[in-house]
Structure 1
Amino acid sequence: MHSRNAPVRPSAVLFDMDGTLVDTEHLWWRAVAEVAQDLGHRLTDADLPEVFGRPVGHTAAYLRRAVDRPVPEARIAADLGSAFAARVAVDVRPRPGVVRLLAELKDASVPVGLVTASPRHVVDLVLRTLGHEWFALTVAAEDTARTKPAPDPYLTAAERLGAEPRTCVAVEDSPLGVASARAAGCPVVAVPSAVPIAAEPGTVVLSSLEEADLALLSRLAAAPVRAPGTRT
């Protein structure tokens, strides 16, 4: 039973994968750069919004438009997936603070979910290194009709865990991921990886997950619910 002064723990903590749990954003960028170069396009910082935090299909469609060549999007998507998976298979590293935070949540019996826009085969590759045992469930790109920035992935995770989204804390690294979680009604801890994220009510921005602990997540889960974009 909770003491009167103890914050209520989150019903669940829902982690994004790429750039949040594991340091794969640089692997994705290299994979996209390789495929883009084969198509005759050189990636620059201007391409960042169409690469990071986006599902494979979105980036494939973007590259197809950028090169203006009759290359099927499905082939570009397949090449992106293969190039990324090859890198993930040999170079997956947990982000700073991740293993400690997962262990703290496990010790406290707080359910943890993995919610990603990456395909299932990439999730499986990552979990071979990170470990399946941390997660009560995983939601991959194939598991919802719409992926991030739509709220569907976080709504699906909360529903499968039997929890209200407002009592589940999402942990994200990209503006699109934050938008997905906030649209679902989840409070968010954001640790930006490649693109800045603005703090706002319901979104706490940290420089590293080494700064996060169960006490912080509990305070977020207990805070009054505000609609995304609401200012105090």
Structure 2
Amino acid sequence: MDGTLVDTEPLWGVATYELSERLGRRLTPELREATVGGSFANTLAVCARHAGLTLDDADSAHYKEWMYQRMSELIGHDLLPNPGIDGLLADLAEAGVPMYVTTNTERRLADVCINAVGRDYFAGSITGDEVAHPKPAPDMYAEAARRAGARPERCLVFEDSWAGMSAAAAAGCRVFGLAEAVPRGVTRFDPARFVGATARDVEAWFSDGDAA
């Protein structure tokens, strides 16, 4: 979702840097990169370790509430789908292709983004607080495949984060990565190809493995 359907990653970056400053030491760009696509627990652990802090459960709950409130403020009311996404989702939905959002973002924020994209396009969604193990574990992709009634290898995943790409590949899905560097078993995909794409294009990408 974040970075693939909507461009919220810069907003997560703002909030993550601010979180690290609240903990006493601003993250380096390299450490910020290690939080992209991960769960809040991972982000907080990276920030706390960088600041030399050990947090208890009450601390974690406090910072989590702060982070989600801050993201709600940043997201506001002007979040738009990335270029090409709206038209492609509409065509896929008209073609009867079941689609699921799988995101480490928890439900309270994920719903804001899903609504901005168009909830009616999707058969369902799975969020980071609804699985035992968030990305990079394969849990939510295995669950999405189960809900779709399809074997994972028959499911096509678009992901932009290392954690997400790794999770989908581990689940056995076909994965197109919207990134310069992708894990083994993931095919690089140029997101500019979403613009003007149709359901037939997606079928061809899946069948041919052509996402370059």
The TM-score bracket by the shorter chain reads 0.7 to 0.9
Q: Work out the CA distance in 2 between the residues paired with 1:38 and 1:200.
A: 36
**RMSD across aligned positions (CA):** 2.1
Equivalent in 41, 47, 69 of residue 53 of structure 2: 69
Cα distance, 1:41–1:199 mapped onto 2, change above 3 Å: closer
> How many residues end up aligned between the 2 structures?
205
Q: What TM-score, normalized by structure 1, do the two folds share? A: 0.80
1:53 aligns with 2:40: no
Aligned-residue sequence identity (percent) comes to 32
Cα distance, 1:202–1:49 mapped onto 2, change above 3 Å: closer
Partner of 2:120: 133
SS in 2 for 1:84: helix
Partner of 1:182: 169
List gaps (5 residues or longer) in structure 2: none
Structure with greater proportional helix content = 2
Per-residue Cα deviation, 1:47-105 (whole angstroms, up to 9, x for no partner): 23322111111101111111123552332222222211221233412111110110110
Equivalent in 179, 200, 204 of residue 215 of structure 1: 200
Partner of 2:75: 88
1:102 aligns with 2:89: yes
Partner of 1:229: none
> Which amino acid in the other structure matches residue 92 of structure 2?
L
SS in 2 for 1:171: strand
Asked which structure has the greater RCO (Cα within 8 Å, sep 6+), the reply is 1
Equivalent in 7, 17, 23 of residue 33 of structure 1: 17
List gaps (5 residues or longer) in structure 1: 1-16, 225-232
Instruction: Tell me the CA shift for residue 212 of structure 1.
Output: 4.9
Q: What TM-score, normalized by structure 2, do the two folds share? A: 0.87
- Which shows bigger deviation, 215-224 or 147-156? 215-224
Per-residue Cα deviation, 1:175-221 (whole angstroms, up to 9, x for no partner): 211111111111122223xxx32386552421433275433432354
